[in-house]
Amino acid sequence: MNSASDLAALAALLADETRAAMCLALLDGRAWTAGELAIQTGVARSTATEHLHRLIDGGLLVERRQGRHRYVQLAGPSVANLLEDLSARLEPRQAPARGLRAAAVSAALRRGRTCYDHLAGRLGVAVTDAMTGAGLLDQTGGFALTAAGLAWLTGPVGLDPDVLRFGKRPLARGCLDWTERRQHLAGVAGARLCEKFFDNSWVVRIGSGRAVRLTLNGKAALRDLLGVPDID
């Protein structure tokens, strides 16, 4: 009805620990089956079904049915964005427990990972910092790709200029990194750059999680493109 009840309805979707855990798991950007999410969150399959219904009805998730499987996925970058913002708000309060938290999070995850569709962790922050230092990103007056940055992406990096023009999603956006407490590059540019990293095998996934590892090729590429001496 009114705007308050809409806001409450949206918040209610995430107000349950199981649904929240599902969304956080889906933050890796990939599609999960209903059963996988049931196991991940530790509830019965029937319970997971109900939760997924609500999340899909609420527009946070989309489904794709394939044979006897039902794959669900975040509905888009804006949902991932929202979840990141909410998670970021949690961090400051947990800051005092930094030592413990740092130990709880795997070293690989802190070193590098994907954050929905872009790079995060020390790797993501290092790339962002190097781009800023090279005048490709402007972080002093907000967060934006400079003209030089656009030229760099379409030139040396070799991205198609067309894929960088995409509707209303911003070209560059800062995303607060929850392990580094620093911003890293998100938005269309972040997503396409991440894609490029995978396509060129500059990074590879570690196991089945969202952690990634920089390859030797990747290190060389970062040196050539950004003058990054060595990460980690």
Query: Which residues of this chain interact with DNA, rule CB under 7 A?
Result: 12, 15-19, 33-36, 38, 42-54, 67-70
Q: Which residues contact 117 (CB under 8 A, 6 or more apart)?
A: 29, 77, 80, 190, 191, 194, 195
Q: Residue 222: which of 116, 109, 122 has the closest Cα?
A: 122
Of the candidate spans 123-131, 136-144, 205-213, 214-222, the one that interacts with a copy of itself by CB under 8 A turns out to be 136-144
Q: Per the structure block, which two tokens stand in for 58?
A: 């609420």
Give the C-alpha separation, 219 to 130, whole Å. 13
Q: Compare residues 58 and 219 and give the one whose CB is closer to a copy of itself.
A: 58
Contacted by 45, from DNA, a copy of itself, none: CB < 5 to 8 Å by type: DNA
Q: Which is nearer to DNA, 16 or 85 (CB)?
A: 16
The one-letter code for the residue type at 155 is G
Residue 230: how many CA atoms within 13 Å on its side-chain side? 2
Which does residue 86 bind out of DNA, a copy of itself, none, counting CB within 5 to 8 angstroms by kind?
a copy of itself
Residue among 26 and 136 whose Cβ is closer to DNA: 26
Residue 138 lies near a copy of itself (rule: CB under 8 A)? yes
For a copy of itself, how many residues bind (rule: CB under 8 A)?
52
Q: Which does 51 bind (CB under 5 to 8 A by kind): a copy of itself, DNA, none?
A: DNA
Task: Sort strands 118-120 and 183-186 into parallel, antiparallel or unpaired.
Answer: unpaired
CA-angle at 136, arms to 227 and 188, nearest 5°: 115
Q: Does 17 bind a copy of itself (CB under 8 A)?
A: yes
The answer to the question of residue 143 lying near a copy of itself (CB under 8 A) is yes
> Which letter, b or e, does each residue of 103-114 get, where b requires 16 or more Cβ atoms within 10 Å of its Cβ?
eeeeebbbbbbb
**x/- track of binding to a copy of itself for residues 73-112 (CB under 8 A):** -----xx-xxx-xxx-xx--xx------------------
Ordered DSSP codes for 47-69: HHHHHHHHHHHTTSEEEEEETTE
Within positions 144 to 163, which residues make up the interface with a copy of itself, using CB under 8 A?
144-147, 149-150
Which residues contact a copy of itself by CB under 8 A?
2-8, 10-21, 23-24, 41, 59, 78-79, 81-83, 85-87, 89-90, 93-94, 138, 140-147, 149-150, 170-174, 187
